[in-house]
Structure 1
Amino acid sequence: MALLKRQKYKLVDILSKIYPTLEEVVRVIRDVRSKDIDIEGASSKRWNNIVEFIKDKDDFSSTLNAISFDLTQSKPESDKDRKNFEELKTEIYAQTPELLLNHLRDIINTRQCVLFLGPNAFKCIQRDRIVPFSDYLAGKFVAELNRMDIFCEPVAVNELSYLIDRYESREAASLADTKAFAAKWYREATPYIPFYEKLESLNFPVVINTNPEILFGRRANTERFVHLRYDKSNAQAQALPADYSGKTIVYNIYGSFDNEHSVLFTEKEAVAFTKGAYEKNPPILQEVRTQVMQSYGLFVGFDFHDWHLKILFDVLDLRNKPGNYSVYDGEIAEQHLEYYSRQFNMTFYTEDDLLMDL
């Protein structure tokens, strides 16, 4: 790739400082001795020769990923050299879509990447349009409010939590009615499949699904998937089956329509979820948390508008991950871009087509 001289020099400086001896180099690039590279002499000369050799190779991103993984195991998150390396790696990937694709393919194929499905990832077909399920459901609540002659602000017709609050303002309303209404329209929805089909074909160890749908991984090759959910009504976390190794764990973290009463819809429930997750009452499944902390994150369908995402990401310890990537074809507010890139090492891309090329 066309690595800028500035980037090359910085990369050499960082790596020669982190891995000054040949033994340390071999730890992260195990076959370095078998390559046609002069690895004798000073550390800076050695790393200059290595970078010059690998920068145009197909496995360049794999080498950077191996270094990232080694740093997560050997240096704390606060280490300056580790931070400098990760910032430079992100800059290199961001300037080259092809390199980013190779990077994502590599970490997915080696099961080093966890998929996060955001509110806009699950889509439905509505009157020849493809819309997020949350917008589809909001439309059903608006229609029901109109039928019952309950006023709602025209500017808030896509604000699901507000519409639910208006729906529950009627006499003798209950949260159970709300969840039954949502489950009814979920069952009658026509899901948009192609996007999920592509993501299901990839080799993620864990899928964190913030949607309540029970579609992902349930239509084909179902033996590859294990389905669990966070349910605040349970005292204990759901247990994994004994034979889950090598499978994809699909974890509906805000509940699922397997049990409509587990689904989070209201702000009050979001607060209760936050409290329960922090207090581990019930806990988020430990195997899921461990895999999330050790892996890269690929975030699909997030506009990062929901306040409780910050708390969820903090509970899952996303700050200590090798790196996070967001792919979203909508608009993300500038303050969210700044916050998530700074707090969670998030790199943002705006082309959904990128995912179809994985």
Structure 2
Amino acid sequence: MNNAAAQSPLSFRSADFDLLSLLVENEKCALFLGPFASGALSPDGRQTSLRIQLAREIAEDLHQKTGQPLPNTDNLGLVCSAYVSQPNTSRTSLEIKVRDFYRRHTEPSPLLLEVARLPFRLIFTVSPDELLQKAFLKEKKRSFREGYYRFSKTQADDFDDTPEGWSYIYQLFGRVLEKPDGSLPLTIADQLEYIDSVQGVGKETRLPTGLRNAMQDCEAFLFLGFDYENWYLRVLFHILKFSDKTKLVFGLPEGASAQMPGATEAFFRHQFKFSFLQDRPLELLQGIRARIESGQTGGQPDAGQATRSLLFLHAAADEALKDKLDRHLVSVKKRHGLASGSIHDFEGGEVAATQTAKIDTAAVIVVLLSADFLADDELAGKLVQRALSRQSPEVLVAAIYARPVDGAANLFKGKAPVFPAETIPLSMMQEDAGLPMVAGMLEKLIAAIP
């Protein structure tokens, strides 16, 4: 743990900010999103959370029915407890009211859109809506898998099936479902039962093993959108056990804790080595993204520092598809010290000699198969054979079905891996699924190179 981080606020010029940006880029930072991450304007024009708006709406409904105001209309647990205690009301009617409320809110906040642009491998959210998923679908920067906590039930454990380069979104407090199943911890009694359930008291209802193991691999934790005076964050720290790998734990206070009492701040600083940031969450994430995109994180080698080369062997007609795949390999190249280039890059000299030299010096050769590729005798003949002659434990040659083509398998059968399946070339897949899948397959092969 970096104790220095607990002494001063983060700034865009600090060493801790550089380290945080690097760990985000390398997918070693877990992100936790609180209720204020899905911020919205209340009827009076003030910024608040959807959770608080929901509590106020249910409280107003109760007030209309009973004529009695509630003492704290912002506390969802208290409001929901009061609601289900009324005659002729049921738990199911409460969940339907909650479902209908979240259905009316369909636009992701700017903060969620920014999250969807960053390479967070593991994202936990306390919101039961699907606004974060909608942000990912809208931005189309990363693919994602998702899961949610099933209150007092045996948990699905599918994190390990998440492909490399994808994000995994996990909803800690359940998900709003079309048919309510009682799995949302809404009332005070629910919240107390949730604490027992999520810790696995008496039954196997703990967080899935794959998720807990993934958290142990994280070196930083970033908490955005939480009010540190409320119960839900303290519950998380009963669940979370930061590993010895953890270097940074950062939080940005929201709500009542934006002016956090000194005792609360001291508790989190000393108990969990928290560093509280002074930046606004959106500006912080924008700063991290700018640092990553500028290549200033300084952690992994970039194209100018890379020690090995990755060569794309492809037809000129497949240049656009090559560029898209190359963009999905950015983090892979940084992790493995690779600089990419194309067989068609030409900076002078004799073309044939230049192309031969590129193949002879590449550590990774990726062949994009298509009808245009096979129609080029130089590419599909001499250059492919030269590439295959270099296949060894130290040099990887792999072929990718870029576009529909017959007979390409014969070039590589028994000589080099070919994927995806010949019947479903990359161009026929949805880009947000196919490209990350291929990038993940390539990384597994690249990682095996000594």
- Both structures adopt the same fold (TM-score exceeding 0.5): yes
* Structure 2 equivalent of residue 144 of structure 1: 61
Per the alignment, residue 42 of structure 1 pairs with: none
Larger Rg: 2
Partner of 1:355: 285
Q: How do residues 1-358 of structure 1 correspond to structure 2 at under 5 angstroms?
A: 86-88=2-4, 90-91=6-7, 94=9, 96-99=11-14, 100-127=16-43, 128-153=45-70, 155-189=71-105, 191=107, 193-218=109-134, 219-220=137-138, 221=140, 224-240=143-159, 242-258=161-177, 260=180, 261-279=182-200, 281-295=204-218, 296-318=220-242, 320=244, 321-329=246-254, 330-352=258-280, 353-358=283-288
Following the alignment from structure 2 to structure 1, what is the Cα–Cα distance between the partners of residues 252 and 263?
17
Shift of 1:245: 2.8
Deviations 1:174-218 (A, max 9, x none): 222111111111111354521111111111111011111112133
CA pair 228-192 structure 1, distance change in 2 beyond 3 A: closer
Q: Deviations over 1:76-95 (max 9, x none)?
A: xxxxxxx6xx213554x746
TM-score of the two chains, using structure 2 as the length reference = 0.56
Supply the distance in 1 between the matched residues of 2:186 and 2:268 (Cα, whole angstroms): 24
Verify the 8 A CA contact 1:232 1:281 in the aligned structure 2: no
Unpaired runs of at least 5, structure 1: 1-82
Q: For 1:311, what is the secondary structure of its paired residue?
A: helix
Q: 1:349 to 1:96 in 2, by over 3 A?
A: closer
Alignment partners' CA distance in 1, 2:10 and 2:150: 41
Go from structure 1 to structure 2 and tell me whether the alpha carbon gap of 1:101 and 1:240 turns closer, same or farther (over 3 Å shift): closer
Report how many aligned residue pairs link the two structures. Answer: 272
Distance 1:111 1:223, change over 3 A: closer
Alignment match, 1:23: none
Distance 1:336 1:262 in 2: 31
Gaps of 5+ in 2: 289-450
Separation in structure 1 between the aligned mates of residue 129 and residue 141 of structure 2, nearest angstrom: 16
**CA 1:192 to 1:304, structure 2 compared with 1: closer, same or farther past 3 Å?**
same
| Kept in 2: contact 1:237–1:284 (CA 8 A) | no
Deviation string for 1:237-293 (max 9, x for gaps)?
342473533211100011011464322212211221211222263221222112222
**Native 8 Å contact 1:301 1:327 kept in 2:** yes
User: Residue 357 of structure 1 aligns to a residue in which SS?
Assistant: helix
- C-alpha distance in 2, partners of 1:243/1:299? 23
DSSP-derived class of the 1:207 partner:
strand
> Identity of paired residues, percent?
19
CA distance, structure 1, for counterparts of residue 5 and residue 76 of structure 2: 38
Deviation of 1:308 after TM superposition, in Å, equals 4.7
d(CA) in 2 for partners of 1:269 and 1:336? 25
Which residue matches 2:349? none
Q: Which has the higher helix share?
A: 1
Q: Which amino acid aligns with 2:82?
A: R
What residue identity is the alignment partner of 2:89? A
CA displacement 1:17-53 (0-9 Å, x = unmatched): xxxxxxxxxxxxxxxxxxxxxxxxxxxxxxxxxxxxx
Q: Shift of the alpha carbon at 1:157?
A: 1.8
Q: Secondary structure at the match of 2:216?
A: helix
Alpha carbons of structure 1 residues 210 and 95: separation in structure 2 relative to 1, 3 Å: closer
Note if contact 1:231-1:255 (Cα within 8 Å) is conserved in structure 2: yes
Distance 1:272 1:208 in 2: 20
Matches of 1:101 and 1:120, distance apart in 2: 22
Q: CA deviation at 1:101?
A: 3.1
Q: CA deviation at 1:341?
A: 1.3
Q: Indicate conservation of the 8 Å contact 2:81/2:188, yes or no.
A: no
Say if 1:134 and 1:160, in contact at 8 Å, map to a contact too: yes
TM-score, normalised by the number of residues in structure 1? 0.69
Looking at structure 1, the residues matched to 128 and 162 of structure 2 have their Cα atoms a distance apart, in angstroms, of 25
